[in-house]
Amino acid sequence: MPALPTARAKSALASLLPTRFSALTFAFFAGLVVLVVLVVLRSSGLAGFDGVTEWPVEEFKEPSGIVYHPTRRTLFVCGDEGDVGEISLDGKLLRSVAIGGDLEAITVAPDTGLLYIVREGHEILLELSASDLKLTRRFNIQREYGGDAEYLKRGGNGIEGLTFVPDETHAEGGRFFAVNQDDPAALVELAVPLRSMKGKFGEARIVRAHDLSVRPLSGLLWVEKSRKFLIPSALWKAVYVVGEDGRREATIPVPGLMQEGISQLPDGGFVIVQDVGGLIKWTPESDPFVDTGPPAVKSTP
């Protein structure tokens, strides 16, 4: 049987109680303050924008990439905690699966319906079946470009956005483009052997790169109609409109907070994922990324 506590031990224990209570109280109020700040920032992030609907999707944490799947007519998202999920066009999570790693970007090849996801850090391109969300192949993204073996710096902030540009005349069925957050902040084209590779493991190589001279870059979407790239910047709460030649043409403010990905729906609306959680459906009166004349352009950070 353990010895009974002495008077000195009781006194010492009693002296700890107020400190413990104060620490718990501080933690509670600190958490409350953070929550209030997030609510205020979310509200301010939506102010001034029409046609905005919030989709909380609380079951899916820290979404970082999004793509519309033309065959399934749903959205697929990936997240910082290694999850991939399918979301209906009214903002409901239909299913999700844990892949693992820091998943930052997602796109789809329309001809096959296969999904492609970037795992940041090791810079790996994963191929998944949209029907069962199972891995089918993987491609290691090579860091070398233009004679620089570390063009994509190890330990830096890696690839944050990915998009696929279909091309029937291309040997692999189309071209992949990605954006590196910084180190360097660049738009790169990746050569990926989608058709020519027979096994389950391969490599993706950088074959072209454009230094965009702004950072951080947070996502990527190719819009076929305008033949432009849309590149969100979570820090600046804006989207850069970039031409095929890699030239930045405009900077357009967008609703939300910590916007890390954007996708366009068939009706012309957009869905934006927020790193702080939740999605935003935005249906502006006209496409803000097409008419990029001076009235819509902010000064570039």
Same-domain status, 26 and 168:
no
Q: Among 224, 212, 114, which residue's Cα sits nearest to residue 166?
A: 224
Flag whether pLDDT at 34 surpasses 60: no
- Please check whether residue 282 lies inside any domain of the structure: yes
How much of the chain exceeds pLDDT 70, in percent?
A: 81
Q: Is the peptide bond between 216 and the residue preceding it cis, with omega within 30 degrees of 0?
A: yes
45 or 175, higher pLDDT? 175
Q: Which amino acid would we find at residue 232?
A: P
pLDDT in tens, 68-90: 999 999 999 999 999 999 999 99
Structural contact between residues 217 and 185, judged by C-beta atoms closer than 8 angstroms = yes
Same-domain status, 149 and 273:
yes
Q: Among 67, 143, 59, 70, which residue's Cα sits nearest to residue 94?
A: 59
Q: Which residue has the tokens 């993204």?
A: 141
Flag whether pLDDT at 189 surpasses 60: yes
Same-domain status, 193 and 151:
yes
- Please check whether residue 301 lies inside any domain of the structure: no
Flag whether pLDDT at 297 surpasses 70: no
Q: In whole angstroms, give the CA distance from residue 135 to residue 68.
A: 19
Same-domain status, 37 and 76:
no
pLDDT in the model for residue 28: 55
Task: Return the structure tokens found at 263.
Answer: 């996708």
Angle made by CA atoms 21, 24, 28, in degrees to the nearest 5? 135
Assign 233 a pLDDT band (cuts: 50, 70, 90): very high
Same-domain status, 43 and 54:
no
12 or 297, higher pLDDT? 12
pLDDT in the model for residue 183: 87
Question: Looking at the 3D structure of the chain, how many domains does it have?
Answer: 2
- Please check whether residue 4 lies inside any domain of the structure: no
Per DSSP, the three-state class of 56 is: coil
For residues 192-200, give the mean pLDDT. 96
For residues 264-274, give the mean pLDDT. 97
Assign 25 a pLDDT band (cuts: 50, 70, 90): low
Same-domain status, 157 and 239:
yes
CATH of the domain at 264: 2.120.10.30
- Residue 216's contacts (CB-CB under 8 Å, 6 or more residues apart) are 157, 160, 181, 182, 185, 233, 234, 235
Q: In whole angstroms, give the CA distance from residue 231 to residue 142.
A: 22
Same-domain status, 135 and 249:
yes
Same-domain status, 70 and 205:
yes
Assign 254 a pLDDT band (cuts: 50, 70, 90): very high
- 231 φ, ψ to 5°? -125, 105
- Please check whether residue 65 lies inside any domain of the structure: yes
Long-range pairs, 131-134, Cβ under 8 A, ≥24: 133/84, 133/86, 133/95, 133/97
Flag whether pLDDT at 15 surpasses 80: no
Q: What is the number of alpha carbons within 13 Å of residue 106 lying toward its C-beta?
A: 33
pTM: predicted TM-score of the whole model, two decimal places: 0.83
Per DSSP, the three-state class of 28 is: helix
- Please check whether residue 1 lies inside any domain of the structure: no
pLDDT in the model for residue 31: 52
Flag whether pLDDT at 11 surpasses 60: no
Task: Return the structure tokens found at 288.
Answer: 């803000």
Flag whether pLDDT at 106 surpasses 60: yes
Same-domain status, 149 and 196:
yes
For residues 56-62, give the mean pLDDT. 96
Flag whether pLDDT at 171 surpasses 50: yes
pLDDT in the model for residue 222: 98
Structural contact between residues 115 and 128, judged by C-beta atoms closer than 8 angstroms = yes
Assign 29 a pLDDT band (cuts: 50, 70, 90): low
Same-domain status, 214 and 68:
yes
Q: Which domain holds residue 253?
A: 50-296
Same-domain status, 163 and 191:
yes
Positive or negative torsion for Cα 276, 117, 282, 255 = positive
Same-domain status, 65 and 87:
yes
Q: In whole angstroms, give the CA distance from residue 127 to residue 137.
A: 5
